[in-house]
Structure 1
């Protein structure tokens, strides 16, 4: 089992060196050696898994993707950044967010969606994240955008939301590709329900293995394993378990849909394929190139070099290598319809508990 980072190797920006170094040790690289004990260890130490991953991966995400760490659907000819924003607007619209609402962003990353949704819906957003490094960057970017009076960020554990914020504290809660990191969906969904006011709405884009995924199939299990290690996820679960968890904790589902099942001409995973000829706009060429063979070559050697020079914490290069595993696995999962990053659910806390 991987050791838990308990040393004081913290940097001024909130990253902890040992967490990054220890990250890949939570998985057996050979799936045949993976056992229940490995999964249980990741689930039990989910905060170290998540923080080790994001301490190492956040800068790479910002370099290779954007400040919104999520996927999105594409219309033909639609630019990458426009697609990300539209995906956030769509969630906000489906939730029917109204000006003045107090909204919680669970697993807020560096705050890209929070800033966009605050502008789009004129709501007041609190972002919660257990990664100090990301919260610091979220605050910096939000101040730069002049939104610090409308959008704020706090360090916290999404498995203890009611303890931090109190029950019935928010008009609405959303999570964008974040609650997959939770040790259990029932646990995090239950906490979300507690902090919602009666009648409050919860909207989520959830990462799931689809109903076509078969855990008894070795190839399917290997795919899930690659997604886990490449994305800091303790254990991947099937879509039906997310639905069951929402109902089990008492949410009323108003709408659900796997948006990856839409018959889009341009698939959600296209930027990960690294084919510059598929870039939707000239501005997107660089984003797509970074995932190409030459782009990966440059990142591979460049990151190794700057780590040796001490510009990034030790272990960052190895976390970067897992991102390559992730990219390939996500494309494979998307093409085979075994994985979705956009199971959309809009649900509501009952006005009166049964």
Structure 2
């Protein structure tokens, strides 16, 4: 297997220039320029529940929590009901994500002196460069969220990108953001399960996934679908959420951290790096290279959530910012502007943040196990 050059020898990639979208108030332009698309607590509150009716949010939270080990749920139930579980999760959590993270819901390898938003854009550009994207190529984003990476990669590489997503609310948000960004002609969305994609064999010139296929109940089955729709000789690149070799399933503290991450992120189970690598091989791919990019990130990936750190540029992700968000959500729920159950969503997302920070500090978990693989020219 080919190995990449050490990350320390690779200079940061140049960042694409930001541009403000016309015909919007200046406050929204500044917000968008920083990668944020939710302007305030009322926007957050109005989005909680997604396509779930507001009077059904509380029961959706009840159902979601029943799936999870943190509340006594079983892994088998999460895997067999993953479509319902993941859809409920993203209906409940998307407005919180967008409020805190902007349009790209993922972590990033980060250099000293680099802002969180800059690192996120470079992380997306890195993926495009590894895939060798060129103008005119037809690309698939598996589990695209509201399309932040999709829009960035399409503009960076001048490709056409299709986002696959099974959550109706996220697709509706993504289409609106595509319209605002002016990329509706080259970027689109398809609502479907990535375990059963509605595409013909050998459709795409490249496929990528960013912290998304961790939701799959069966990684081999998911990777086989990606293999099927990818053209022979072309590549698939992914950032996977994984537990590392430091994780001990018999350690109660380790298990608690894993449960918190699964609860707060809609995961049926977190697989190890070796399980993911074996799964992609079992699906038929040739491995070009793989690496946990968290290993040599100059700035820890979990820093935005670390309670010991404070930042004005990503204030909403800090402990103080998250505390203020919970307080606002609680108040808005009390006066009826946010649906009942909103505070509980905020609480399990806070549990996730705690688990992610502890998992990162103890090196038990990584959100950026990267691998680049190729579909053979002849099968």
TM-score (norm 2): 0.83
Secondary structure, aligned partner of 1:200: strand
List per-residue Cα deviations over 1:58-99 (Å, max 9, x = no partner).
Answer: 111111111100000111111111111000000111111111
Structure 1 position 341, deviation (Å):
0.3
Say how many residue pairs are matched. Answer: 329
Pair 200,182 (structure 1): closer, same or farther in 2 beyond 3 Å = same
Aligned pair partner of 2:281 in 247, 251, 264: 247
* Matched ranges for 1:161-310 at <5 A: 161=197, 164-262=198-296, 264-277=297-310, 279=311, 285-288=312-315, 290-292=317-319, 294-310=320-336
Pair 255,299 (structure 1): closer, same or farther in 2 beyond 3 Å = same
Q: Which runs of 5+ in 2 are unaligned?
A: 1-47
Pair 166,315 (structure 1): closer, same or farther in 2 beyond 3 Å = farther
Aligned pair partner of 1:66 in 96, 102, 116: 102
Instruction: Give me the whole-angstrom Cα distance separating, in 2, the residues matched to 1:113 and 1:289.
Output: 20
Pair 12,20 (structure 1): closer, same or farther in 2 beyond 3 Å = closer
Instruction: Give me the whole-angstrom Cα distance separating, in 2, the residues matched to 1:331 and 1:55.
Output: 24
- CA RMSD, Structure 1 to Structure 2 (Å): 1.9
Secondary structure, aligned partner of 1:165: coil
Pair 222,61 (structure 1): closer, same or farther in 2 beyond 3 Å = same
The aligned counterpart of 1:4 is: none
The aligned counterpart of 1:321 is: 347
Contact 1:253/1:348, CA 8 A, preserved across alignment: yes
List per-residue Cα deviations over 1:176-198 (Å, max 9, x = no partner).
Answer: 00000010111110111011111
Q: Which runs of 5+ in 1 are unaligned?
A: 1-10, 280-284
Structure 1 consecutive aligned stretches of length 4 or more whose deviation exceeds 6 Å: none
TM-score (norm 1): 0.88
List per-residue Cα deviations over 1:129-170 (Å, max 9, x = no partner).
Answer: 111110000000001000000100121101101xx1121111
Pair 286,120 (structure 1): closer, same or farther in 2 beyond 3 Å = closer
Structure 1 position 266, deviation (Å):
1.6
Instruction: Give me the whole-angstrom Cα distance separating, in 2, the residues matched to 1:143 and 1:167.
Output: 29
Pair 351,19 (structure 1): closer, same or farther in 2 beyond 3 Å = farther
* Matched ranges for 1:34-53 at <5 A: 38-53=74-89
